[in-house]
Structure 1
Amino acid sequence: MPAWAHDYSTGSLRIIHPWSNASPPGAPGVGYMVILNEGSQPDKLVSVSADFAQVSAHKTTVKDGMVQMTPMTDGVEIPANASVSFEPGGLHLMLMNLSTPLRSGEERPITLEFEKAGSISVNFKVMGMGDGEAMDHGN
């Protein structure tokens, strides 16, 4: 597995390669990862938080040719024995009102709260814009 790949575990869940893109001053950030449920029961991501930003889960959709971002106010289901990908153009974490811009090479902690597996703090590695490695989850 590449040296930059990293993952975390809580309960039956694995959070694989949480990452973000660098952000220009004043712009929001985004967070991506894969959540793998290795258990026989579903779980749900019920909240996300960080000290450096207001964080919420969103889903990107296209309706009538217009891109829309819809907040996932009821959480994100993580089915049993399955994975859910937070990736560009789909599910993602919106990082609003950043205290400082996200810079390539740094890590930012975000707390993920799951209905069954509980709370875990994970470090999102900030990748440079257009960094091809960011998209490869090491699978």
Structure 2
Amino acid sequence: MNMFHKCAAAAVLFAAVATPALAQDASIQVEQAWARATPAGAKTGAVYLTIDNKSNAAERLTGATSDAAKTLQIHEMKVVGGVMKMREITGGLAIPANGSVALKPGGYHVMLIGLKKPLKAGETVQLTLTFEKAGKVAVSAPVKDMKAGHAGMEHMDMH
């Protein structure tokens, strides 16, 4: 086999191996991810982000994992009777077709439970989101100062 044939065979092999990575589902895009720094000894933290669904079919965020904490849950905060309450979303968080959902302070967020160490400003939290159709999506969330996004979170009742 001459050099041309070897190069051609290598190119075909590379294309066959590389194509699945290039063909990943791009219908879900995660943007503006960040986490709030936690005080020393804190056992919980939160990650916020925006999920854009570029497909014509509804999607569902069904879970998340990270080496930063023992358990991750999708939570919702809302005002009930003048008091901010928090609860886990069971069954996953719906992402509308050709739409987006913002996970932000005072609303939906990814709750990190059983932090292995405090989240410090300037560091990054790595997590993997799991979607019903799109599968797993890796996310890097820079950690911001503890004061980031606190507006409207007074009088919170955690349930």
Specify if TM > 0.5: yes
* Paired residues, number: 124
- The 1:19–1:78 alpha-carbon spacing in structure 2 relative to 1, beyond 3 Å, is same
Written as runs of structure 1 = structure 2, the 5 A alignment for 1:49-128 is 49-53=65-69, 54-128=71-145
- The answer to whether the 8 Å contact 1:58/1:70 transfers is yes
Can you give the 5+ residue segments of structure 1 that lack an aligned partner in the other structure?
Answer: 1-8, 133-139
- The 1:10–1:89 alpha-carbon spacing in structure 2 relative to 1, beyond 3 Å, is farther
TM-score (norm 1): 0.84
- C-alpha distance after superposition, 1:5-28 (max 9, x if no partner): xxxx95301100210111002222
- The answer to whether the 8 Å contact 1:10/1:120 transfers is no
Please report the RMSD computed on the Cα atoms of aligned residues, expressed in angstroms: 1.5
- C-alpha distance after superposition, 1:55-79 (max 9, x if no partner): 1010001111222111011100110
Q: Which protein has the bigger helix share? A: 2
TM-score (norm 2): 0.74
- C-alpha distance after superposition, 1:114-139 (max 9, x if no partner): 0110112211110112358xxxxxxx
- The answer to whether the 8 Å contact 1:109/1:122 transfers is yes
Any idea what SS the aligned residue of 2:138 has? strand
Name which one, 1 or 2, has greater alpha-carbon Rg. 2
- The 1:79–1:126 alpha-carbon spacing in structure 2 relative to 1, beyond 3 Å, is same
Q: Which protein has the bigger strand share? A: 1
Can you give the 5+ residue segments of structure 2 that lack an aligned partner in the other structure?
Answer: 1-23, 150-159
Any idea what SS the aligned residue of 2:115 has? coil
Deviation of the 1:82 alpha carbon: 0.6
Runs ≥4 residues deviating over 6 A: none
Any idea what SS the aligned residue of 2:106 has? coil
Q: 1:30 aligns with which of 30, 46, 70?
A: 46
